[in-house]
Amino acid sequence: MKITNLARSAALPRRRIFLFLIAFCLALVTGAQAQQDQDRATAAADRQAMLSQLGIGELRPPVSQRTANYDESKANPYPSLPDPPRMANGRPVRSAADWWQHRRPELLEIFSREVLGRVPANAPHVTWKLLSQSQETAAGRSVVVKHLAGQLDNSAYPALQVSIDLLVVTPAEARHPVPLVMEVAFPQEAMPALARYFPEMLPGGKGNEGPSWQEQVLSRGWGYAVLLPTSFQEDSPLGLRRGLIGLTNHGQARRPDDWGALRAWAWGASRAMDFFETDPAIDAQHVALEGHSRFGKTALVAMATDPRFAAAYISSAGTGGGKPYRHIYGEQLENLAGTSSWHWMAGNFLKFSGPKTVDELPVDAHELIALCAPRPVFIGVGSATAGDAWADPTGEFLGAMAAGPVYKLLGARDLGTTQMPPMETALTQGDLAFRQHRFGHTPGPNWPVFLNFFARYLKPTK
């Protein structure tokens, strides 16, 4: 056989393999698209079924970032906020005992039923597994890096396998258990898309030019952890039949008071705390929690519902965080009830986007902050003119201020003022704290202030 014929015969299998690979990739893409189309149809049907259960025909539309109100003179159409130290029947709460025994449980019940959804009775047990452990150098210190997976018990519904992704870093040479700061973090794959709108969120962005928050924490001799909430519950309405929520619902649609993603993510933060209580390197009595934007909402929910967290830094959480729903500026209740975000909340929450109004909501966000009392909470936000108007800086201050009466009732200190302070003036003398930095939608510039605030509550190690 001629050499040219041999070459042709050898090329034939390679060509067939190449064509097979192309066909295989096309099939994968087509299959993925078909699955996504099915997920969208299922999510739309579930939303419509929820509206039917609630007897709602139409909701008020969300506002866009372009059409939202940014005029403070138009932001307060409602005469007052609900009074945290007052029972739903109007009876005032006059003592700490009355708060702990009656009002706090009542508020938790209302938030669970109407806003966040309930943690189901069949929430799964979590078994923590150490995936890897290494000794490395960070911020000039020797540290132990542990990557863990929290395996959720799926014996009641084996069709779904769900795991919590957690990273823990502690000083290698610490003689005592160390305080720890845990971030509820955005996944790395989401950062490029977020950076299109909020480039300041990336390391090295405006306001983030110095050491990272992790380096700042380690330089104090503390440890840090990073919780990836989307590892166990997708940040999408398409994922409500999957992940933790799907596991507890056995792949079925939610009921009106079932939990949304914010409550599910906060539940995952509590399971991380379960692990911290077993790790001899960590002082579990002094674990602080931080989250930014939607995960600032999550961190506040976790702080409000789990008294084991010692402190929290809530960054630019906006509506659904500490900013009152009744303050009509930037992001609004209707946005959280919209098709792209309703998975964050309980189904019952949709009622307040039609036919009910925001003023008929029986609670407001400042009462979520009040549920954290008397533990220290730091509310941080950026500048409205530099890119954080959507989070409503004034509303963030008003939420912290309006939670103050409960802090005082329990013997703690409020913000100390009813006047929003000038830019970059830190209100950190009380157990409620607030600071607005001059940059955009980023937690970076407020990290050093929060760490100083948290350090006040730590006893020096011997």
Question: What rounded mean pLDDT belongs to the chain?
Answer: 93
Quick one: pLDDT at residue 115? 98
Q: Structure tokens of 214? A: 């992790």
Q: In CATH, which of 3.30.470.20, 3.40.50.1820, 3.40.50.300, 3.50.50.60 is domain 72-455?
A: 3.40.50.1820
Measured distance CA(452)–CA(103) in Å, rounded: 32
pLDDT class of 53 with cuts at 50, 70, 90: very high
Please write the tens of the pLDDT for every residue from 182-237.
999 988 777 777 677 677 777 767 778 889 999 999 999 999 999 999 999 999 99
Q: Structure tokens of 224? A: 């840090």
Measured distance CA(94)–CA(116) in Å, rounded: 27
Measured distance CA(79)–CA(63) in Å, rounded: 22
pLDDT over 80 (residue 43): yes
Please write the tens of the pLDDT for every residue from 319-353.
999 999 999 999 999 999 999 999 999 999 999 99
Supply the DSSP symbol for 348.
Answer: G
Measured distance CA(322)–CA(368) in Å, rounded: 7
The pTM assigned to this predicted structure is 0.92
Q: Closest by alpha carbon to 388, among 441, 454, 345, 333?
A: 441
Residue-wise DSSP of 278-301: T-TTEEEEEEEEEEETHHHHHHHH
Cβ neighbours around 69 below 10 Å, total: 17
Ranges of each domain in the chain: 72-455
pLDDT class of 6 with cuts at 50, 70, 90: very low
Please write the tens of the pLDDT for every residue from 291-318.
999 999 999 999 999 999 999 999 999 9
Please write the tens of the pLDDT for every residue from 405-447.
999 999 999 999 999 999 999 999 999 999 999 999 999 999 9
